[in-house]
Amino acid sequence: MKNNKILSSLSLAMLLNLSLDLVSLPVMASSAPAAEQPEPEKGPHRGRMLRDGDFALELSIFETGVPPEFRVWLTKEGQPIDPKSVDLNVKLTRLGNVVDDINFYVQGDFLRGDMEIYEPHSFVVTIEAKHQGKSYRWQYDNFEGRTIIEQAVAEAMDIQTAIAGPATLHQTIPAYGTLALPVGAQRSVSARFDGEITKLHVGFGEEVKKGQTLLTVESNESLKPYQVKAPSDGVITEQFANAGEQTASRTLLSITDSSQYIAKLAVYPSDYQKVCKGSVVNLQVEGVDRNYQGTISFIEPKVRYDQARIVWVTLPNEKGELTTGSFVRAHIEVATIDVPLAVKRVGLQGFRDFTVVYAKVGEQYEVRMLELGREGGEWVEVLGGLNPGTEYVTENSYILKADIEKSGASHDH
């Protein structure tokens, strides 16, 4: 099996050549194709024929209209024999030394196994039969969806694993919008009494603090100077006057406080009832290399022209990365669900008609066919096909899929 299943030395050599950047060392390793195993003999019921002298049995996995089960037909000297005259037991040794012990009962002209052959159909098969005082025994490998990857290779390829267990699903809906400044973020500065600006203490683009002196003005009435101070922290974003000019009851400066922004997100009618104040929101801002998280603080009472309701999420701007009008992608959390068993979505792969993860036992990996439930964030609920506590592949599971498909392993039916 190892010749068929282990990643080829060529693959390993290429991997190490890339990951260690040993460009000066040519990759010379190669591997010859493994010798193909002859197809096992098939019987009239498309099962595997097992022979010992003139005694033979046909072991078939039958799954038409029933869960997969073993059925066995028996012959001696090429002639059918009464199934009641044979004691039969089959043991299936699965990965991790889990043994399924199957006994048989008579049904018509065959023996029928007493338990379901659950997926994956990957095991060492041991058959023991007794007929007319003589014992017979066969054993063979019936592996599918299984491969071996040495630990050093798995580490070099960054094949990561996790333990299957409980998780919290965070179900979300997508939303999109733009950034805007909060109400009151922009303040207009004017003089209390008309007069001449004798000194401008700040300039366009300068950061100021609340209470900082911005201008000195000499009153036209009292001829005494007084100071105009900043009403808030912020940046001078507009300058309409200079020293020597009259204030003339006009706006002299504008201060913009950009320490916070509002992400205004559109929620459409199908999702109205799922969203409320306090809902957790994860956001990405176009052009900003970080993720934000906030909560909905306000839902506008009117719908937009396209029937969207606009919800507000406040974002801090400590690093000054945010700007008005920037595009925002968001996921609004609409449900939080604790489930007893889940796997990471990144580990899921397709195998035959199943969605699977790859269980890891030592250096062996094997598919686990999953029955899946609800989804949320990075997690998918598992309803069947995987035992809690199973170590399974998360990152780079596609490497396992490619290696198993290369080997072409299949199982008997």
pLDDT(180) > 90: yes
What is the CATH T-level fold of the domain 151-169+338-407, as seen in this structure?
2.40.420
pLDDT(321) > 80: yes
Q: What is the pLDDT of residue 411?
A: 52
Separation CA 386–CA 388 (nearest Å): 7
This prediction's pTM: 0.70
Q: What number is the average pLDDT over the span 155-184?
A: 95
Q: What number is the average pLDDT over the span 325-353?
A: 95
Instruction: For the chain, count helices (H), then strands (E).
Output: 4, 30
Q: What is the pLDDT of residue 36?
A: 55
Q: What is the pLDDT of residue 51?
A: 95
Q: What is the pLDDT of residue 37?
A: 61
Q: Please state which CATH class domain 187-255 belongs to.
A: mainly beta
pLDDT(29) > 80: no
Handedness of CA 344, 346, 347, 353 (dihedral sign): positive
Separation CA 203–CA 378 (nearest Å): 49
Tell me which residue has tokens 């199908």: 270
Q: What number is the average pLDDT over the span 268-291?
A: 94
Which range is least confidently modeled, 36-45, 48-57, 296-305? 36-45
List the chain domain ranges: 48-142, 151-169+338-407, 173-181+259-336, 187-255
Q: What number is the average pLDDT over the span 185-199?
A: 94
Q: What is the mean pLDDT of the chain?
A: 89
Architecture of the structural domain at 48-142: Sandwich (2.60)
**Model confidence over 372-408: pLDDT tens digits?**
999 998 999 999 999 999 999 999 999 999 988 887 6
Separation CA 229–CA 211 (nearest Å): 5
**Model confidence over 303-319: pLDDT tens digits?**
999 999 999 999 999 88
The domain 173-181+259-336: what is its CATH number? 2.40.30.170
127 and 88 Cβ atoms separated by less than 8 Å? yes
Cis upstream peptide for 120 (omega within 30°):
yes
Q: What number is the average pLDDT over the span 59-66?
A: 93
Nearest to 231 by CA among 250, 205, 257: 257
Instruction: Specify the 3-state DSSP secondary structure of 336.
Output: strand
349 and 356 Cβ atoms separated by less than 8 Å? yes
223 φψ region: left (φ > 0), alpha (ψ -120 to 50), beta (else): left
Most confident of 20-29, 35-44, 59-68: 59-68
Instruction: Pull the structure tokens for residue 74.
Output: 């028996």
pLDDT(335) > 60: yes
Q: What is the pLDDT of residue 39?
A: 83
